[in-house]
Structure 1
Amino acid sequence: MESPILGSAASFAENIQGKQQPEVERHVKPDDAAPHSPPTSRLLEGNSEGRSEESLRNGDFVLQSKHKIFLSHSGAQKDFVDLLCDDLEKHHRFPFFDQRSSSLPKGERFPNMILKAAQECQLAIVVVSEEYFLSKWPMIELHAFVQARLTSNTKMKILPLFYGLSVQEFGNNERRARWFDTWEEWAMTDLRINIQEWKESFKVLASFNGIEYNRGFSRIGAYLKTVVSNICKEVGPDIKWDDSHVQGRLSICQAIQERIKQIQSANKSEVCVIGFYGVGGIGKTTICKTLCNELLQEFEGKVSHVELGSESSTKLLKGVLKDLTNTSQELLQQLNEGECKYLLHKDTCKRRTFLAVDNVWDDSLSMEGAKMYLQTPFHEKSVVMVTSRSLETLTSLGISVSDCFEMPKLEHEDAKALFLYHATHGKQFSDYEDQRSIRKCVSLCYFSNGDQGSCHYLPLALKALGVQLSCIGDKPSQWLKILPKVKSFNYFEEEHNPVFSILRSSFDRLQPIDQCLFMDVIMYKPMRRPDIGNLDLSQWLSCVYNEDHEEIESRLWRLKAKGLLEYVDMNSQTIRVHDLYREFAKLESQGKLDKSANFGTRKWVWYEDAHPAELELTPFYGCWQNLTRIATMKKSWPSWHIDRNLEGIEWRYCSNVVVLKLDGLKKLQGDLNLAALKCLRSLDLVDITALDSLEGLQDLRNLTYFRWVQDFNSVTQKPCTCKGKLPSSLKVLQLCVGVLWLRPDIFDNCTNLSKLELYNCAADSLDFSNCLSLQSVVLCSLRSLRTFTGLFTTVSRLQVSCCEELVEIPGLSYLVSLKELHLYGNHRLLKLLDLQRLTKLQVLSIHEMKLLGLGLGSLRQLRKLECTKWPTPTKIPNFSGFEQLQVVDFSGSKVTSLEGVFTGSLSALRCLILRDCTSLRRLPDLSDLRSLEELDLGNSGISLQDEDIRMLAALPLLQPVVVGIRRDSRLDVVKRKVLKWVGASEDQYYQHPPESWLSWTKWEERNLRSLPLEVRSMGW
């Protein structure tokens, strides 16, 4: 070749030297072109075709396939060439070799077939030997190579293999002269032989660098390995998975290869093990196959893709052995799984390989299969890629988190191309309206993966949508009309949804209880309401499943490990789900995924703007035995919400229901009796405003969670009553119903009630004497409530707000377990609070009340103190020794002096808010607050002196101080600069600045004017 072909010599197929070739009858035919010359040196097997002059003249041929490699040899080296051909075929290179029926089919005339293959090949292998240049046919082939290279196939390369002759012997002039003489003898009787052209062809061959067999190769196997290695670098494989339809494959493969190089550079002497994860349908398997194609030449054909679970483990293992080793197919068929594992361990350490272990699940069988491959002693330059639907599965296999990555995302243009490939076979559109319609179609396949701001296109959805729309027509305007009907990606209502059936494989692997948990956190959990208390999701799940919070959290983490949840943080009560799984849960709850299932097999139902007609049917066995979840809700106003009710439902047929959710049924009237729901554990009524009464709750002995809420501002027409008492099983109660009147004895049976929240209801008085387990109480905007009694020392959180008629909180000073106390808007509550005994209090929040009295100095466990809009504050004690105090907020209070309040040991205080303290003239001494980070002096009456600036500048953690009237100005006390916030974009410029200074990205600044200076005048 024009440039040397380099290769490494290593041991290869140790049994080759001792391999016995089968005895065959060899026929030596005289060369009819030169009757007096020595017989041809090409020996043919008895069952091989002869190459006759007659057949050459006739010229009839059928070339079955184009061969990239041509093996040109004399018969004397047939055994070596046979071994070479075998090895190339193991590397998926199928050369033209006259001993293969695939090259010269039986019964066909061969001369022109040989010449055509010689002229069209990409790489011509010439096995150099004495016999080669003394045989007519090899020389005809050589001449064909060179002529094609000069005319039609200029990129052809020629690789001489100096196997029968050394390079020195090849260059011997006397030997060459003997060859030339022989050619001249042939030319006398064969006018087609042009001696000068043949000599030129010979010179061309001599100009190519080749590979010589010499003493450096200890055995023939090492030489073969070097030859095969170099050939594989020059010529790609003949068998590859067709990836022509894979859009964006180059950029995605490049991104993955860059990740591989990063790991390899950090672990130069180790096998590179890399993990990729992503939701089902994102293209993990497709990219594994495409990557195998991309890496074929780099790894000299030793690449393999194994999709766990697609076939038996033994069959998969044999496929890997076939791809990565030189084990014959005949031998593989005889091996059992244990023998296959032995061969895998024995052979893969000898050469670089690429293995993609795809589709690893978190079940024991799949994990065991993946670990078997990962524990294989691969060559140190090998790469093992593992894919799964979740990061946790990869890390549980021992793959480092830093070596695991999300699947690269499909770019918009690639997504559009993939959609059009399936919708129109790649037809392009230039019309603006067509382009607009296509964008709308493609956007249907754009999903959030649960992380804020993180979205991606789903290849599987793009394919399914394209295929279905292609059946409608090839005009984008037609697609747009039916787009609302194909949101479920099953326009033709096939039995198995082409997209969501992929996700079902994950869902069906779950235990029934975990399937319910998955559906609950997505579909059936109570929704957050901005106007009432926060939803405690873990508490609701604990009520529904009768399990403690730790077990619930453990189950949720297992769902995340299986890839069904994207994010779990029960501290913040946050669970994020991929849009596709959210849609799957919705369609599953609506019974749209399994068309073959009848209503009697359904476990959950979800009616959205639809009448629950199936629930009005009579079940065959007298009960919907599998049904455990019911939800019906409105988002629009279809006619059945006005004209029809739920009177057609016999609730006794739903006796196994555990969760019932009725939302937005504002025309639901009369009496709603749920006494027949004996298994009910969670009852969630939202915006049910027209009921006369709610009955039967006292009979629900399993009910642990009950929420009935409506908008604070909803218009009410008539009062509603909750007949009977609440059941003893109840643990969580949240009521926000403006028409609901609460009787004093409603809580008589609630011995297990731990969380109580009452908003906007009506009651004269409330008695909690039997609520022995009560821990959290919220009483907000309760009309007519003058007093309540019976709170036990178990209460740890108490909020009483906007109860206009309330005149006292009996027994407050005895709630010694109280950790949080929130009081605001109770304007008739005038008695000073005695806090001396509440030594466990951590949060004290009082707003617009004259209540703070005795005992503030004894609250040494306090973490947060909020006394806002304090009209007539008493003397505030020194907070020295409040080691836990982190936040103090006196905003809007009439305090005139804070001198001495913050001196001493306050090691935890990080936030001090004095905003709107207009009566405060001097900044107190804050020099001891070494942990202070945030200070808000906005719109206060404070005038800053030069010594105040120096004091604040000495605080090591202090961020720029809030000054001025609005929150968009801050004072950098170190640089003595006043900063004004500038929005990151034009849209944000007129919005409120972020609360935290750390969130500021842009600001303007100006020098601080001369001091003293009022804080209010410092703003821009």
Structure 2
Amino acid sequence: MGWKEAMTEVGALKGWEVKKVADGHQGELIKMIVQTVLLELKKKCMVITDNLVMMEDHLNEMTRLLNVGSNDTRIVGIHGMGGIGKTTIAKCTYNKLFQHFECCSFLADVREKVQQYNDLVGLQKQLLTDTLKCCSDITDINSGISAIKLRFQEKNALVVLDDVNEKSQFDWLVGNRDSFGPGSRIIVTTRNKDVLNTLEVDETYEPPLMNHEQSLQLLSIHAFQKKFPPIDYDSISKEIVLVSAVLPLALEVIGSFLWKKKEAIWTDTLKKLKNIPDDQVQKRLRISYDQLNHEQQQIFLDIACHFSGMDKTYAFYMWDDCGYYPEKEINAMCLMSLVKIINVNVLTMHDQLIDLGREIVRQEDFENPGMRSRLWDKEEALDVLEGEMLLGTEKKLVILDLSRSGITEKWKGWSQIKMANKLKVLDISWNHISKLPDEIWMLEILEVLRASSCNLKGNIPSCIERLSSLRKLNFGHNYIQSLPTSICKLSCLQTLDLGCGCNIQALPELPSSLEILHVTLYPKRNLHVKLANLVNLQDLRLSWCSMNLVEIPRYIEKRSKLQILEMENTNIRTLPKEIGALLSLLTILTIEECYKLTEIQGLGKLESLTHLTIRGCHKLKDVQGLENLKSLASLSITACKEIAEIDLLEPSAPLVSSLTILTIEECYKLTEIQGLGKLESLTHLTIRGCRKLKEVQGLGNLKSLASLSITACKEIAENLRHL
């Protein structure tokens, strides 16, 4: 189907007639069609629970206050006590309105990330990545805010800053309203209304408390999985609502705790709630905490103090060592609404529950932090370590995060760390440590050592072999010149990350246990690599390693367990026909800026491949076998300037039912995309900067399409103008 036929079909479906719409101007009609389709299909929603009560009222008020459509740049603040639903309201508002803006970003947990992790730069990068798909070369706060002001001046943006407690956080993240283009909207949530006053926001919204009926409905949804309680529980449910301060969080936690509980538990819970003053929310929440078993309580406190917003992997090291069953216990706490898991592996907890957990730990010893079971404040932890206040607690340390703490190799606390004979995870990233102190090599059961961006120089000593239990080692973004041959004795090592900045000339023989190897050299240089013995390798990423390669080497081809292969800026010239048979488990293949690559063969045999990215391969003219990739879900071909044609399928090709995301950008000689209309599962299609592409056939047949973007395609634009 050509463009004229496609536009005719769309026009017929919508019932628009050029004479009746846009004053008869065809060009204006086309713009209206495109804008309407994109508004309907664009998706970038925040994840929220289905169990919402009273949200329609909140959304109506926020929509009124934001007044989307006016050309002013408006700031609206949501304030109120913790647990009242500020973040949920902001998420729902964001989901409802984001499609009206050119770009959008939701920055969650600003207070926690700044105070606990000092990560303003990380938030700045997230803002730029969310909205503009780049974070430039941000190295500090000043360069970050400069980049934000420069890039957003002409952008119509929607930005949410969740849980702000200081004006400076707003200043460093968005600057001021003049940093954004006309029509932009900024939403700020905070517990402290004074913050909004200092920001001189345009409007404020304090969510009203739920009435009795709404509160009963929320409690019932979590306790009985329906809107109203059974008759036998109606009376006691109403009583619990009366003494629960009608806070959404408290009702959710209490209701989740009471789910499938006997009536005696309900009665006991009601008695406890009646003895708690109205203004003491934490005590209400503690009722659920007190019902946890010992293992669950310890995991709850660990998440509250250390792991909310973090990948659960590191925490599992500790919980496994303690003899807990983390999968089972976390699942139980999720059912009680005490913990949530997002993005598959990330643990999250509401800030009121975090406050509860940390208060419980403070009560262990108000005067001496060194006697508490957990230390989450970095300055407090450093004071304890430097002041020799641990009084034996160092022997209980399992995880120690000293990243971004400002320590050096001369730090006084190293003498304490060497006594931590149970330490399994040590993170000293983003500090100024030119040489790893000898005390580290005494941590014989250490399983994870993260020392990225530490300014490490010179050679890693041979005594690294003492870390016989080491599983993960990260030396990325340093200036290391060599690794010792003794590293091959680390028989448990599974991950070795040598990221950007390493000056390594050669890699010694590595342990056969290795499953993940990332090597990035900058500037680019030859690297001698010994990989023949890595029979367990599953993830291999080589960047800026010229390696004198002209074809896939045999030591890679023999990696039958390899699932991820990424090559960036190497001298590779060809992918052989045999690659499919040799790498049958490969799921992700990325080839970027391999300027000498001229041909890719054998792709059709990669039966497990789900993601294929080819970018910046300037001499590549053809990609053969795409149509036979029966598992491929995502295909991206970018900046391959010599590719003139992309053939996506043949009759009965398996790609028809698998591909969901297709991105083709800056392929300047591309004139034709064959088979596009047969991709019945395609949901996201992006075509950008393909100057010679005249038409995109088959768009009308893409029944699953949810996102469509065709930009900077000169020939297509010319054809549209002549419709």
Q: Which TM-score tier does this pair reach, normalised by the shorter chain?
A: 0.5 to 0.7
Measured in 1, the distance between the counterparts of 2:452 and 2:715 equals 51
Q: 1:736 and 1:268 mapped to 2: Cα distance?
A: 55
Correspondence list, 1:384-783, <5 A:
500=282, 503-504=285-286, 506-507=288-289, 510-525=292-307, 537-546=311-320, 551-565=325-339, 567-569=340-342, 572-587=344-359, 591=362, 593-594=363-364, 598=368, 601-610=371-380, 612-615=382-385, 624-625=391-392, 627=393, 654-670=394-410, 672=414, 674-710=417-453, 716=455, 721=460, 724-726=463-465, 727-759=467-499, 760-770=501-511, 772-781=512-521
The answer to whether the 8 A contact 1:842-1:861 is kept is yes
Q: Distance in 1 between matches of 2:352 and 2:427?
A: 26
What amino acid does structure 2 have at the position aligned with 1:788?
V
Greater Cα radius of gyration, structure 1 or 2: 1
User: Contact 1:917–1:939 (CA<8 Å) still a contact in 2?
Assistant: yes
Amino acid in the other structure paired with 2:700:
A
Aligned to 1:817: 561
Counterpart residue type for residue 869 of structure 1: G
Are the aligned partners of 2:364 and 2:372 in contact in 1 as well (CA < 8 Å)? no
Partner of 2:668: 918
- Contact 2:579–2:602 (CA<8 Å) still a contact in 1? yes
Structure 1 residue 503 displacement after superposition: 4.8
Letter paired with 1:568: I
For residues 779 and 924 of structure 1, the distance between their equivalents in structure 2, rounded to whole angstroms, comes to 37
SS state at 2:470 partner: coil
What is aligned with 1:789? 530
CA separation of 1:660 and 1:936: change in aligned 2, threshold 3 A: closer
Q: Which amino acid aligns with 1:845?
A: T
Counterpart position of 2:24? none
Question: Structure 2 matches for 1:130-149, cutoff 5 A?
Answer: none
Hey, what's the Cα distance between the residues in 1 that align with 2:498 and 2:356? 35
CA pair 845-275 structure 1, distance change in 2 beyond 3 A: farther
Is 2:545 the counterpart of 1:803? yes
The alpha-carbon deviation at position 284 of structure 1 amounts to 8.3
Q: Where do residues 295-314 of structure 1 align in structure 2 (5 Å cutoff)?
A: none
Separation of aligned partners in 2, 1:261 and 1:683: 44
Instruction: Write out per-residue CA displacement over residues 524-579 of structure 1, whole angstroms, 9 at most, x where no aligned residue.
Output: 34987xxxxxxxx23222322337999433222223344432x224x522222111
Paired residue secondary structure (1:822): strand
SS for the counterpart of 1:890 is: strand
Change (3 A) 1:1014 1:563: closer
Q: What SS does the corresponding residue of 1:655 show, helix, strand or coil?
A: helix
Q: Residues 189-228 of structure 1: CA distance to partner in whole angstroms, max 9, x if unpaired?
A: xxxxxxxxxxxxxxxxxxxxxxxxxxxxxxxxxxxxxxxx
1:879 aligns with 2:626: yes
Task: Please give the alpha-carbon distance, in whole angstroms, between the structure 2 residues aligned to 1:359 and 1:957.
Answer: 41
Distance in structure 2 (CA, Å) of the matches to 1:962 and 1:887: 16
Which residue number in structure 2 is paired with residue 234 of structure 1?
Answer: none
In 1, are the aligned partners of 2:483 and 2:508 still within 8 Å (CA)? no
Do 2:470 and 2:492's aligned partners in 1 also have CA atoms closer than 8 Å? yes
Picking from 588, 599, 603, the partner of 1:843 is 588
1:284-363 superposed matches below 5 A? 285=240, 287-288=242-243
Alpha-carbon distance between aligned partners in 1 of 2:458 and 2:229, rounded to the nearest angstrom: 78
> Offset at 1:796?
1.6
Contact 2:481–2:505, Cα closer than 8 Å, also in 1:
no
- Is the 2:600–2:622 contact (alpha carbons within 8 Å) kept by the matching residues of 1? no
> Percent identity over the alignment?
16
Contact 2:436–2:456 (8 Å) recurs in 1: no
Q: Secondary structure at the match of 1:802?
A: strand
**Unmatched 5+ stretches in structure 2:** 1-205
Deviation for aligned residue 1:812? 0.9
The Cα RMSD (Å) is 4.8
The CA deviation at 1:813 is 0.9
1:287 maps to amino acid: L
**Cα contact 1:710–1:737 (8 A) shared by 2:** yes
1:670 CA displacement:
2.9
Decide whether aligned partners of structure 1 residues 607 and 963 sit closer, same or farther in structure 2, where only a CA change above 3 A counts.
closer
Give the conservation status (yes or no) of the 8 Å contact 1:800–1:824. yes
- Are 1:860 and 2:607 an aligned pair? yes
1:630-676 residue CA offsets vs partner (Å, 9 max, x unmatched): xxxxxxxxxxxxxxxxxxxxxxxx23321112132335233846443
Equivalent-residue separation in structure 1 for 2:632 and 2:556 (angstroms) = 22
How far the C-alpha of 1:909 sits from its partner, in A, is 1.8
For 1:898 and 1:692, the matched residues in 2 are separated by 53
1:580 Cα offset (Å): 1.5
Q: In the alignment, is the contact (CA less than 8 A) between 1:564 and 1:577 conserved in 2?
A: yes
Q: In 2, distance between residues paired with 1:829 and 1:751?
A: 31
Shift of 1:601: 4.1
Distance 1:667-1:657 versus aligned 2 partners, 3 A rule: closer
Tell me by how many angstroms 1:680 deviates.
0.7
Say which SS state the counterpart of residue 937 (structure 1) adopts. strand
Structure 1 residues 526 and 751, CA, compared in 2 at 3 Å: closer, same or farther? farther
Deviation for aligned residue 1:820 = 1.5
Q: Quick one: distance in 2 between partners of 1:520 and 1:928?
A: 50
Decide whether aligned partners of structure 1 residues 739 and 869 sit closer, same or farther in structure 2, where only a CA change above 3 A counts. Answer: closer
CA distance, structure 2, for counterparts of residue 745 and residue 526 of structure 1: 38
1:670/1:691 contact within 8 Å kept:
no
Cα distance in structure 2, aligned partners of 1:952 and 1:892? 23
> In the alignment, is the contact (CA less than 8 A) between 2:647 and 2:673 conserved in 1?
no
Distance 2:314 2:519 in 1: 20
Greater helix share, structure number? 2
Which residue in 2 is equivalent to 1:123? none
Task: Say if 1:873 and 1:575 are closer, same or farther in 2 by CA, change over 3 A.
Answer: same
1:252 alignment partner in structure 2: 211
Checking the alignment, whether the CA contact within 8 Å between 2:217 and 2:227 is kept in structure 1 is no
What SS does the corresponding residue of 1:693 show, helix, strand or coil? coil
Q: Judging changes above 3 Å, is the alpha-carbon distance between structure 1 residues 258 and 938 closer, same or farther for their aligned structure 2 residues?
A: same
Equivalent position SS for 1:584: helix
1:930 matches 2:680? yes
State the alpha-carbon separation in 2 of the partners of residues 838 and 545 from structure 1: 36
Answer whether contact 1:923 1:944 (CA < 8 A) is retained. no
Mapped partners of 1:675, 1:938: distance in 2: 55
| Partner SS state of residue 575, structure 1 | strand
Residue of structure 1 in register with 2:704 after alignment: 957
Identify if the C-alpha distance between structure 1 residues 750 and 944 changes in structure 2 by more than 3 Å, giving closer, same or farther: same
TM-score by length of 2: 0.57
CA distance in 1, matches of 2:272, 2:635: 48
* Kept in 1: contact 2:446–2:469 (CA 8 A): yes
Q: TM-score, normalised by structure 1?
A: 0.42
Aligned counterparts of 1:387 and 1:873: Cα–Cα separation in 2? 74
The question of whether the paired residues in 1 share the 8 Å contact of 2:519 and 2:542 is answered with yes
Question: How far off its partner does 1:934 sit?
Answer: 2.9
Contact 2:468/2:489, CA 8 A, preserved across alignment:
yes
